[in-house]
Amino acid sequence: MMVKTMKLRRITAILTAKALSFFCKIAGRQGVTMAGRIALRIDPDILKDLAAQVREKIFVVCGTNGKTTTNNLLCSAVESEGKKLICNHTGSNMLAGVAAAFVLGAKWNGKLDADYACIEIDEASTVRVFPHFTPDYMVLTNLFRDQLDRYGEIDITMDLLDRAMKMAPDMTVIVNADDALSAYLAIESGNKYVTYGISEKVFDEQNIREIREGRFCKRCGERLEYDFYHYSQIGVYHCPECGFSRPAVNFDASHIHMSNGLEFDVEGRHIAADYRGFYNIYNILAAYSAARTAGMELKRFDRVLQNFNPQNGRNEAFSINGNKVLLNLAKNPAGFNQNISSVMEDPNEKDLIIVINDNAQDGTDISWLWDVDFDRFAADNIRSITVSGIRCQDMRLRLKYVDIAADLIGDVRTAIEKSLKNGCGNLYVLVNYTALYSTHTILKDMEGKA
Amino acid sequence: MKITIGHLYPDLLNLYGDRGNIQCMKKRCEWRGIEAEVKEFQLTDAIDFSSLDIVLLGGGSDREQMLVCDQLKTIQKDFKEYVEDNGVVIAVCGGYQLLGHYYDTSEGRIEGLSLVDLYTEQGSPRLISNIVIENEAFPYPIVGFENHGGRTFINGNKALGKVSFGYGNNGQDKEEGVMYKNVIGTYLHGPLLPKNPHVCDHLLARALAKKYGRAELEPLDDAQEKEANEYIVHRFTKS
């Protein structure tokens, strides 16, 4: 009788979640999180049981920036090995979103047919997810200041990740060696860890003004010394006091070229991808290192990169009436500075829209806008800048204080229409988190009608 | 005319867009034809307070404040003289807490500078909110964002404003910040000054008055600043 009730509860949870997600999709909203929440409420053990059915390994991807791209690349890499997997493609990465990925991927009878799971998890949610399952691997991309109002301070995020690692002592951490904060966590955790990084100096010019997190040794408090920076606090460092230093790198990307897409060598292989943005080298390298650490050969990794279409507005291209529109997510200073670099890599004339919201998921504190180097937009080939979104006034003010004039149009669709009408045919739209989905929908719609 | 702004320990105390406060003071000088120089001081640098017209002490995490507070003892005497001599100080978040006698945390006591008679105790939960405060001396409200675990008590000193939305110093007495001589301490970031040009100009005027004996500031077109300010006032206090 007990077993029957449990089974019935499981089926109810799955069907309700699937129905909910279906109707939400029709209604044009992302119902993923709500579907997961309801499934967990009906059946609190559902995530635990479904995750236990994964036949081989479970990966989780954490870190401030690059989670979604890294995880989606990792999924494609795993699939290229002929494996079936569960993942949260949409980037819903708190407990409910993680649960939804499993529930919506299960059959109605509660059976899960998956060799692997590749799940991105919001750093602060790891301690809520790990009681349901402990992963075999955690990819830790980087730690930057992000949404300080939600997590308080970066130290708090690090404490949570430390707790999560201790909850999963058998988990191997695949960590970005070039980020002193992430590397410190992995080294001190006691977990087994594998590193990836870039040991060669890529940029001649070092932006000394960029806000850098963790310039001070987490172990002893002394100022870290850097041989060079790649961006933000990412680089090659050591502590002159206590001996803490960048760990030996297992997967080292060398011969970096960015003139024609992205190219680098790792493990004697040449990797080429038609993406823009230095940070994407780290995303590719992270996914590659994770799959290799799990023992995959990745013979078809070239094809994985060729076929990989950045989704969900991570450098996603649209064509609207012959206009090229590129949508990109930028939700914290490190990410925004990297996006500015990738916009400025395009030598052509361009128009720009910046959309800033302050909903709960964005972080209601938008003071980080002042830590972004917007003065770099004061260039001749930027024809116009339009600010939009809930906090467009703040964004306009931010630009005013670097002597850049901007048009203010609160409504995103109107802003896009006007920029296209008066623009030069090359439009960049930079948005923060909650503006992403709606802006994506608007651009898809406009592309469809064009 | 020239204003020299000393930015204390930007490496450690730079949590909530403090760069924006510096940029705001600098620009509002420059737009008026007043030269503005920013001097950044690292932890071990000697500071000649007599060469400074405004000192900015920004926000850092509790851990970073702990690192700073040892060093602060070495500059305490000079800093105190600067304040008593009507030197202008703007201290935000963690910097505000450091103005006082101490900040008691679960990890131990962070000794402050004792520049202003106030103290801070750690509380729970963190007080995180948009915030609107009012002070009759300013023509319109002061707006910002607060995010602090500490509860600050200002021992009868004058507050920067009365809270109309948000938590303020300690979430109890409806007061926010402190004004003592030419010192302003506050939990407001966002950053504070760009959306509150009246506060920025107050600091500049005080600094000019002290240095040159007169303080007329040429008015600027603050339409965009006021719009951003009004948006917050309207959204949180008029609905």
Domain with B200 in it: what CATH number?
3.40.50.880
Chain B residues whose C-beta is within 8 A of a chain A C-beta are 11-12, 14-20, 23-24, 27, 61-64, 67, 126, 128, 130, 145, 147, 149, 189-191, 194-195, 224-225, 227-228, 231
Give the span between the Cα atoms of B125 and A55, in whole angstroms.
42
Task: Let me know whether A273 and A217 are in one domain.
Answer: yes
- Tokens 């939305």 sit on residue: B165
CATH of the domain at A422: 3.90.190.20
| Min Cα–Cα distance to chain A from B223, Å | 10
Segment (H or E) for B91: strand B88-92
Beta bridge partners of B70: none
Eight-state DSSP code of residue A261: S
Task: Let me know whether A301 and A324 are in one domain.
Answer: no
In b/e form, how buried is each residue of A123-152, taking b as 16+ CB within 10 angstroms?
A: bbbbbbbbebbbbbbbbbbbbbbbbbbbbb
Task: Let me know whether A203 and A255 are in one domain.
Answer: yes
Task: Let me know whether A165 and A300 are in one domain.
Answer: yes
Task: Let me know whether A303 and A329 are in one domain.
Answer: no
In a domain? residue A327: yes
Domain end call among A254, A274, A307? A307
Q: Does the structure show a pLDDT above 90 at A276?
A: no
* Structure confidence at residue B42 (pLDDT): 86
Chain A residues whose beta carbon lies within 8 Å of the beta carbon of residue B17: 367-371
* Structure confidence at residue B72 (pLDDT): 84
Residue A303 φ/ψ region, left for φ over 0, alpha for ψ in the -120 to 50 degree band, beta for the rest: alpha
Catalytic residue flag (residue A365): yes
Chain B residues whose beta carbon lies within 8 Å of the beta carbon of residue A369: 17, 20
User: Which of the listed ranges A27-31, A212-216, B42-46, B147-151 does the model predict with the highest average pLDDT?
Assistant: B147-151
Q: Does the structure show a pLDDT above 70 at A214?
A: no
In a domain? residue A149: yes
Domain that holds residue B54: 2-237
Task: Let me know whether A302 and A332 are in one domain.
Answer: no
CATH of the domain at A227: 3.40.1190.10
Give the dihedral of Cα atoms A340, A447, A432, B19; nearest 10 deg: 30
Task: Quote the ipTM score.
Answer: 0.95
Q: Does the structure show a pLDDT above 70 at A148?
A: no
In a domain? residue A277: yes
Q: Is A370 helix (H, G, I), strand (E, B) or coil?
A: helix
Q: Does the structure show a pLDDT above 70 at A212?
A: no
Q: How many helices (H) and strands (E) does chain A have?
A: 15, 18
Task: Let me know whether A252 and A193 are in one domain.
Answer: yes
Q: How many helices (H) and strands (E) does chain B have?
A: 5, 12
Closest to A401 (Cβ–Cβ): which among B18, B23, B64?
A: B23
Q: What is the mean pLDDT of chain B?
A: 93
| Min Cα–Cα distance to chain B from A398, Å | 8
What is the edge-to-edge ordering of all strands in the sheet holding B178-180?
B35-41, B2-8, B54-57, B88-92, B183-186, B178-180
* Structure confidence at residue A28 (pLDDT): 47
Note the pLDDT tens digit of each residue in B173-197: 999 999 999 999 999 998 999 999 9
Task: Let me know whether A253 and A328 are in one domain.
Answer: no
Kindly report the number of other CB atoms within 10 A of residue B213's CB atom.
7
Give the span between the Cα atoms of A214 and A235, in whole angstroms.
12
In a domain? residue A33: no
In a domain? residue A98: no
Number of domains composing chain B? 1
Single pTM value for the model? 0.82
* Structure confidence at residue B206 (pLDDT): 97
Residue A394 and residue B228: Cβ atoms within 8 Å? yes
* Structure confidence at residue A335 (pLDDT): 87
Residue B128 and residue A149: Cβ atoms within 8 Å? yes
Task: Let me know whether A137 and A184 are in one domain.
Answer: yes
Residue A269 is encoded by which pair of tokens?
């292989």
Chain B residues whose beta carbon lies within 8 Å of the beta carbon of residue A402: 23
Number of domains composing chain A? 2
Give the span between the Cα atoms of A215 and A221, in whole angstroms.
9
Q: Rounded to whole angstroms, what are the CA distances from B220 to A171, A400, B156, B210?
A: 59, 13, 35, 22
Chain A residues whose beta carbon lies within 8 Å of the beta carbon of residue B11: 215-216, 223
- Under the banding of pLDDT at 50, 70 and 90, the label for residue A20 is confident
Give the span between the Cα atoms of B161 and B220, in whole angstroms.
24
Note the pLDDT tens digit of each residue in B152-172: 999 999 999 999 999 999 999
* Structure confidence at residue A155 (pLDDT): 83
**Residue of chain B whose Cα is closest to the Cα of A405:** B224
* Structure confidence at residue A226 (pLDDT): 92
Give the span between the Cα atoms of A59 and A114, in whole angstroms.
13
Task: Let me know whether A289 and A322 are in one domain.
Answer: no
Chain A residues whose C-beta is within 8 A of a chain B C-beta are 145, 148-149, 152-155, 211, 215-216, 221, 223, 364-371, 393-394, 396-398, 400-403
Note the pLDDT tens digit of each residue in A40-93: 999 999 999 999 999 999 999 999 999 999 999 999 999 999 999 999 987 789
* Structure confidence at residue A290 (pLDDT): 98
* Cis, peptide link before residue B125, omega less than 30° from 0: yes
Task: Let me know whether A326 and A228 are in one domain.
Answer: no
Q: Does the structure show a pLDDT above 70 at B43?
A: yes
* Structure confidence at residue A293 (pLDDT): 98
In a domain? residue A339: yes
> What would the mean pLDDT of B55-60 be, rounded to a whole number?
89
Share of chain A above pLDDT 90, in %: 71
Which of the following is catalytic: A113, A155, A274, A365? Answer: A365
Task: Let me know whether A287 and A333 are in one domain.
Answer: no
Note the pLDDT tens digit of each residue in A154-167: 888 899 999 999 99
Chain B residues whose beta carbon lies within 8 Å of the beta carbon of residue A397: 194-195, 224-225, 228
| Min Cα–Cα distance to chain A from B29, Å | 12
Give the span between the Cα atoms of A357 and A15, in whole angstroms.
34
In a domain? residue A192: yes
* Structure confidence at residue B63 (pLDDT): 72
Give the span between the Cα atoms of A62 and A447, in whole angstroms.
33
Q: Does the structure show a pLDDT above 60 at A29?
A: no
In a domain? residue A210: yes
Domain that holds residue A128: 56-85+114-307
* Structure confidence at residue A207 (pLDDT): 64
Residue B194 and residue A398: Cβ atoms within 8 Å? yes
**Residue of chain B whose Cα is closest to the Cα of A374:** B20
Share of chain A above pLDDT 70, in %: 93
Closest to A369 (Cβ–Cβ): which among B17, B63, B147?
A: B17
Q: Does the structure show a pLDDT above 70 at A27?
A: no
